[in-house]
Amino acid sequence: MSNEAANCITILQSVFKTNYGVPELYVKSPGRINLIGEHTDYNMGFVLPAAIDKAIYIAIGKRPDSEIHLTAADLNESFSIAINELEKSSLEWPNYIMGIVQQLMKGGYQVGGFNAVITGDVPLGAGLSSSAAVECATVFALNELFGLGLSKLEMVKLSQRAENQFVGLQCGIMDMFASMFGKADSVIQLDCRSLDFHYSPFNQTGIKIVLLDTCVKHSLASSEYNVRRKECEEGVRFLQGKYPAVASLRDVTIEMLEELQVGVNGKVFDRCKFIVEEIKRLQDACLNLEQNDLVAFGKKMYDTHEGLSKLYQVSCEELDFLADVAKGNPHVLGARMMGGGFGGCTINLVEESAVDSFISAAELAFQKAFNTNLKSYIVSIGDGTSVISID
């Protein structure tokens, strides 16, 4: 067990003991990065995520009644509710857990009362999918605790529904898939339409994955996310008039985009253009990866950033600034904003020998430009959701 994992388990043990006694089970579910393929998941395209070595941990045990009692150790907050009276809370974190319970009940699974404590070292609000990690940890733990017999894929789909229906973010499937199915040293090439996937080894020799966290989360994040989804759907609806077989932007060719340009407003066109290009870009980037050509791969990351910023308009000043800092550094192979946008991190592929100087230069420049500090994380690619055995 890593030091971080051991620390988290110690916290869980102690907080659980104080509040509820002895847990029956510990589960770990990681955060994720995504190398390329952004906003393509809900457009039925491809994504290239991986689980990271930072995770959410949950300790859980049954209760004799039908209530759920929860504690977020790091926030020092507790929450409890009867299982048949679930209702959205103004504390954000219990909603991820309640969303899972609600979906399990909807699916006819027998879930009883339980106590749970969560902790973790996934930075919150940094675009590393701490929420998906909470959902996956919860569903995995409840599946074990109550012997529900769900497969990993069923748990992923259920977590996505929890986020869509209870939390209210119309997210795609990428975050949950990566958290649940992650594999050390591999990226996941996921086809979000068929859900076929395979692991590709990600050769990190001489390269580090550096995340620069702007520490900002603009309030637009979730409302604008849902708007982007609608804009993409509008483009699809227009094209369906002439091409009934087009079910999503995945089916749209570069040539069809020309027809779209005259039929929808400029904004909708730009959104669709980005997605169609990004789906193609990811496929080309996967070939670069197969040939171990991280230089070509990195260039595509910069192109993705450009598209996310100009066409899809989900970046922000701070992210654009950090992408530019990276671009000006010859030791950075590629960089871009990552995840839903409007804040969070940039992901940077950096030559190992230049990591320290890159981070210090970025910190300094960021401080000068925004009068605030950024955070940095060097991450490695880890395994997906699992039970942690103690002793």
Give one DSSP letter per residue of 128-176, joined into a string.
S-HHHHHHHHHHHHHHHHTT----HHHHHHHHHHIIIIII-----SHHH
Nearer to ligand GLA (CB atom), residue 11 or residue 285? 285
Q: Active site includes 175?
A: yes
Minimum gap (Å) between residue 127 Cβ and ligand GLA: 7
Minimum gap (Å) between residue 340 Cβ and ligand GLA: 3
Q: Which of 175, 251, 270, 284 is catalytic?
A: 175
Nearer to ligand GLA (CB atom), residue 124 or residue 365? 124
Q: Which residues of 15-37 are buried (b: 16+ CB within 10 A; e: fewer)?
A: bbeeebeebebbbbbbbbbbbbb
Beta bridge partners of 70: 79, 116
Nearer to ligand GLA (CB atom), residue 78 or residue 164? 164
In this structure, what token pair is assigned to residue 159?
Answer: 């977590």
Minimum gap (Å) between residue 47 Cβ and ligand GLA: 7
User: Which candidate, 67, 75, 62, 81, places its Cα nearest to that of 11?
Assistant: 75
User: Which candidate, 162, 130, 171, places its Cα nearest to that of 340?
Assistant: 171
Q: Which amino acid, residue 76?
A: N
Minimum gap (Å) between residue 161 Cβ and ligand GLA: 13
User: Which candidate, 16, 127, 174, places its Cα nearest to that of 375?
Assistant: 127
Minimum gap (Å) between residue 95 Cβ and ligand GLA: 15
Nearer to ligand GLA (CB atom), residue 36 or residue 264? 36
Distance in Å from the first CA to the final CA of the chain: 11
Q: Which amino acid, residue 233?
A: E
Applying CB under 6 A, which residues contact ligand GLA?
A: 38-39, 41-42, 129, 171-172, 174-175, 339-340
Nearer to ligand GLA (CB atom), residue 123 or residue 172? 172
Active site residues: 175
